[in-house]
Structure 1
Amino acid sequence: MSDVQQQTVVEVDTEDAARARWNGPRNPWPVVFVTAWILAFFVFVAVSVYENAWRFRDVAASFWIGAAWALPLLVVVHGTHAVRFRRGGPLAQRQNAVFRRAAARLLAAARGAGMPELDEAAVLRMLRARDNGPDPGTGERGGPDWPLLRWDLPLAGRRSRTTVVAERIGTPEPGGRPERTRLTLRTPRVEAARPGAPRPVARRGHDPSADVVVLGAYRSDSPAPITASRIGGAPAVPRDWEWPTCAEHDEPMQFTAQIEHRSTLVSAFVCQFDPGTCDSWDADSGANAAFVFSGRDLVLADPPVSPHGDPDDPDPVYPPLLPDSMLLGTASVTAARDGVVTAALDVEGAVVAGQYGGEPPWIQEDDTPEGLAFVASIESEPLGFDFGDAGRAYVFSDGRRAAVLWQCT
């Protein structure tokens, strides 16, 4: 079994990124808008009354004259905002430049400390995000959960078990302690393989005859079929299929996994729009969805469009399609304790992603949906899914319908 070494590599000053990130709450434009609309309303009323009462115009003409006095103010205010804050505008470019300079410092510091090359896009998303969602279980006496200021950063174009953890140190509000970002290198310690020992990961289809197998996530060296078992990336779906949306947020759910299971493809989706604010852990809440596809005539799904698209945030923290993906292979389990898979994968580039078949490795009580059988569990760590604190997703199917839910500690 492999162990993991942790080594704190470097801390970088990212206070400039923190100031740019928290510029939103100090944005004066909401006050400007409210003031402009109030003034426009009073101008409209005053001019309309004057024209009707003192210049003896009819009501319709008075209203049109009042609108002609009031509308230019609103046009000027909203036009100025659109020009200054449009995507690619001067203020947006200035803010993006701040994040790019901070990302360049982080990448240079990591490179200078001998770390593997980080994915620049992931570093930029981390710097722009105020937090990585709520940290479940940290709230006291019904209070809100504390923000989670920790990210697992992927490497740039490499297939490796090494991960880099980014943690923010400081106060995540304006006026607090200056922000610094700490990078921690997590390097696996792999024991030398015994002569003749079998490879733990069989990069093949699942074997339903096995009682319990480990799901190993890895990055392929060659293109794989679109129906191959995977986490992240884009799902394989029928041509007339519609992307599921969260019943609470009306936002597209995030694709989690597709799993080859008994000649079908079981695909799971979980809402990650604002983790912790909808009941995505409940299989019947409408905040998650699972489908059973035949595996024939499938195509890769196009990215869904958010009905509440935010032009100021083109890179959301929890996009419906993750930019990273990993294929799933299997490894037979020879010893399990209480139905929970404890075997690790000792092959470079593979990490434990869950369990396929057998008894569900419940974190809490048994919550199997009625009439469905356990297919697989998915761990949150490989791609950073938000399943709560040390959470795990569970996928079920009867060959015609499917369900997904998750539990955490």
Structure 2
Amino acid sequence: MRRPVRFEPSSEATGMPVTKLGGQPVWLQTPQWPVSRSLGEPMTFIGQFRLDGDGGGRLAYLFMTDGEEYVDATWEPEGGENAVVIQPDGSVPAFIAVRDLGEGPSWPMKDHLPVHQQVHGDEEAWEFLGGEPLWLQGEETPGPGWQLIGQLTDRLGHNFGDAGIGYIFVSPDGAEGRFLWQCG
């Protein structure tokens, strides 16, 4: 089921393992900060998402290479310019290198926490957690059984192309994640 949300700035940083955008990750195990394939530098932390359905307090951390010149490379789920790290007990995909960094680049600098949003009439929510994706260009689920964690717009300044939407997925076994975006 889709849970429509919007993200609003928090008055203070949270050190709790909650769904949020920005700030710094709240690591549940040893930090695994992904490194951009093209730059060899840490990717930008976008946010963390609770995987509530597992009953065990797990998080999916989303990262993406920052910079206008890399936008075209960040849409691809296995291109090495974005990453989803699952903790605890997730596995880092072979196409991603990580560093043991507790903190690194982040956008926006302040934590943004989700606020559930009402959808009225036949209005469609484009930012939500869970449910089925609303594809802009056509279905691109990473594989059979992959579940949508969340769908984000570029409203907060993340560059997902022109009026783009980002899609965060977790594998059927819950061990890996993938991210991709489409634009209009």
Q: 1:229 to 1:277 in 2, by over 3 A?
A: closer
1:324 counterpart residue number: 110
Corresponding letter in the other structure for 1:326: H
On the 8 A contact 2:77/2:178 being kept in 1, the answer is yes
On the 8 A contact 1:216/1:329 being kept in 2, the answer is yes
Task: Please state how far the C-alpha of 1:270 moved relative to its aligned partner.
Answer: 1.1
Task: Please state how far the C-alpha of 1:332 moved relative to its aligned partner.
Answer: 5.6
1:341 counterpart residue number: 125
On the 8 A contact 1:245/1:252 being kept in 2, the answer is yes
Normalized against structure 1, the TM-score is what?
A: 0.37
The yes-or-no answer on 1:220 pairing with 2:2 is: no
For residues 120 and 49 of structure 2, the distance between their equivalents in structure 1, rounded to whole angstroms, comes to: 22
CA offset digits 1:193-246 (Å, max 9, x no partner): xxxxxxxxxxxxxxxxxx111122122346634312111111122453232111
For residues 377 and 272 of structure 1, the distance between their equivalents in structure 2, rounded to whole angstroms, comes to: 19
Larger radius of gyration: 1
Corresponding letter in the other structure for 1:378: L
On the 8 A contact 1:244/1:253 being kept in 2, the answer is yes
The alignment-based identity, stated in percent, is 25
On the 8 A contact 2:19/2:113 being kept in 1, the answer is yes
For residues 277 and 226 of structure 1, the distance between their equivalents in structure 2, rounded to whole angstroms, comes to: 30
Question: Where does the alignment leave 5 or more consecutive residues of structure 1 unmatched?
Answer: 1-210, 304-319, 343-353
Task: Please state how far the C-alpha of 1:335 moved relative to its aligned partner.
Answer: 5.4
Q: How does 1:185-204 map to 2 (within 5 A)?
A: none
For residues 128 and 41 of structure 2, the distance between their equivalents in structure 1, rounded to whole angstroms, comes to: 29
Question: Where does the alignment leave 5 or more consecutive residues of structure 2 unmatched?
Answer: 90-100
1:391 counterpart residue number: 164
2:134 counterpart residue number: 361
1:231 counterpart residue number: 21
In structure 2, which of residues 177, 180, 183 is the aligned counterpart of residue 405 of structure 1?
A: 180
May I ask how many residue pairs the two structures share in their alignment? 165
In structure 2, which of residues 87, 90, 103 is the aligned counterpart of residue 293 of structure 1?
A: 87
On the 8 A contact 1:213/1:332 being kept in 2, the answer is no
For residues 326 and 240 of structure 1, the distance between their equivalents in structure 2, rounded to whole angstroms, comes to: 24
CA RMSD of aligned residues (A): 2.5
The yes-or-no answer on 1:243 pairing with 2:33 is: yes
For residues 71 and 160 of structure 2, the distance between their equivalents in structure 1, rounded to whole angstroms, comes to: 12
The yes-or-no answer on 1:254 pairing with 2:30 is: no
Q: 1:275 to 1:254 in 2, by over 3 A?
A: farther
On the 8 A contact 2:15/2:26 being kept in 1, the answer is no
Q: How does 1:61-140 map to 2 (within 5 A)?
A: none
